Structure 1
Amino acid sequence: MTLRLRPATPLDASRIGVILHRFEQDTPWMPKEHSLAETISFCDRMIARGWVTVAETAHAGEIEGFLARDGAEVCSLYIAPASCGRGIGKALLDRAKQQVSHLALWTFQANTEAQRFYLREGFAEVRRSNGQRNTEGLPDIEYHWQADQMETTT
C-alpha cells in the first residue's frame, strides 16, 4: 500500500470524524460521550486550525488515519481499524518528527497498545495523571520525544 500524507481539508472532516468516533464507540473502556456529528464538528475545528495531516492510499484516496498536532503537542493520532499494524501511525509520527525537535502527547493508561507504540517510537514517559486533566476522566500518561535524544542513542 502506497501512502500519501497531506494536510487535511474541510472535506476530510467527516472521514476523519468517523475514524475518531469509531474508536470511541468500539473501545470498551472509553466513555461514550459524543455523537458522530459532534465528533465531525470537532475534527472540522482541528482542520480549520491547520493541525491535521491525513494518510490516504495513493491510488484510491481513502483516508487510513490522521494526526493532529498543535505545535509540539500531538493532540490526536488515530488509524482506521482495518489499517492498524501497517505502519500508518509511524509514517504520520515520523512526518511530525521531521517538523519539530520535540513532541509531547498524552495517552490513556488503559490504551496499552498506544503505550507500546509510543515507547517503540522513542517517546519517554514523563508523568501520569488520575484523569482529572481530561474530559473523559480516565487516568492517562504524558510522553515526550526529543530529537537530540534519538541522535545520541542511534
Structure 2
Amino acid sequence: MTSSGLSIRLLELADMDAAARVHRAAFDHALPWLAGLHTPDEDRWFYRERMFATCTLWGAFDGQALNGVIALHDDWVEQLYVLPLAQRRGTGAALLDIAKQSTDRLQLWTFQRNARARRFYEARGFVPVEETDGSRNEEKEPDMRYLWTRADQPASAPRAGAFDDT
C-alpha cells in the first residue's frame, strides 16, 4: 500500500529490530527527560517478543528505510512512532489511517507533557477521556487516554488497556 510517496506494509519478525530503533529515536526525541529508560537490547527484545507476538504491526518505508511504525491490538494503538526527520510529512497520519480503516473505535495512551502528540491525535478526531497521575505506567509519568470513534458510531464505555508512550 502506498500513501504520499510512502510504502506501507505489514511488518515481519525480521523488521522488529528496525521498529525498535524507530521507537527509541522518536521516544527520546519527544521525551528527552525519559531518555535511556531502556537499553537497545531491551527495546529489540520488546519488539521481537512482545509487540510482534501480541500486535499487528505496520511500517512506513521511504525506500528501504523504516520511518514509522504502528502496533495495534484489538481497538488499541499500542505504539505509534515516526523518526524525527520523517515527522510532519504525513507518515504518522498514514499509519493512523491504516488503523482507522479496520475498526469503528480506537484508544491509546500518551503522556500529558507530550503536547505535540496530543495535538496530533486531537487533530485526527481523538478526544481525551481519562487522565492519570502516572502511577500505573512504567515511566511514572502522568498520561491521558484518548478515544476515536467513527463518526456514525457511538462511543462505548471505557475499558482498561495497555499504555502507549507515543
TM-score normalised over the length of structure 2: 0.84
The number of equivalent residue pairs is 149
- Unpaired runs of 5+ residues, structure 1, are none
For 1:112 and 1:40, how far apart are their aligned partners in 2?
27
Alpha-carbon spacing, 1:43–1:71, altered in 2? closer, same or farther (3 Å): same
Higher helix proportion:
1
Percent identity between matched residues is 34
Q: How does 1:41-52 map to 2 (within 5 A)?
A: 41-44=45-48, 45-52=50-57
Q: Does 1:126 align with 2:129?
A: yes
Native 8 Å contact 1:67 1:78 kept in 2? yes
Q: Return the alpha-carbon distance in structure 2 between the equivalents of residues 118 and 107 of structure 1.
A: 9
**How far off its partner does 1:22 sit?**
2.0
Aligned to 1:139: 142
Of the structure 1 ranges 124-133 and 25-34, higher mean CA displacement relative to structure 2 is found in: 25-34
Query: Could you tell me how far 1:99 is from its partner in structure 2?
Result: 0.4
- Residue number among 11, 19, 29 corresponding to 2:14 in the alignment: 11
Q: Distance in 1 between matches of 2:113 and 2:147?
A: 18
RMSD: 1.7
Q: Give the structure 1 partner of residue 24 of structure 2.
A: 21
The more displaced of 91-100 and 45-54 is 45-54
Amino acid at match of 2:65: E
| Counterpart amino acid of residue 35 in structure 1 | T
Per chain length, whose mean CA-contact separation is higher, i.e. which structure has more relative contact order (CA < 8 Å, sep 6+)? 2
Determine the structure 2 residue equivalent to 1:55.
Answer: 60
Amino acid aligned to 1:19 = V
After TM superposition, give the deviation of residue 20 of structure 1 in Å.
1.2
Long gaps (5+) in structure 2? 154-166
Distance in 2, Cα, partners of 1:145 & 1:24: 22
- Matched residue of 2:69: which SS? strand
Aligned to 2:41: 37
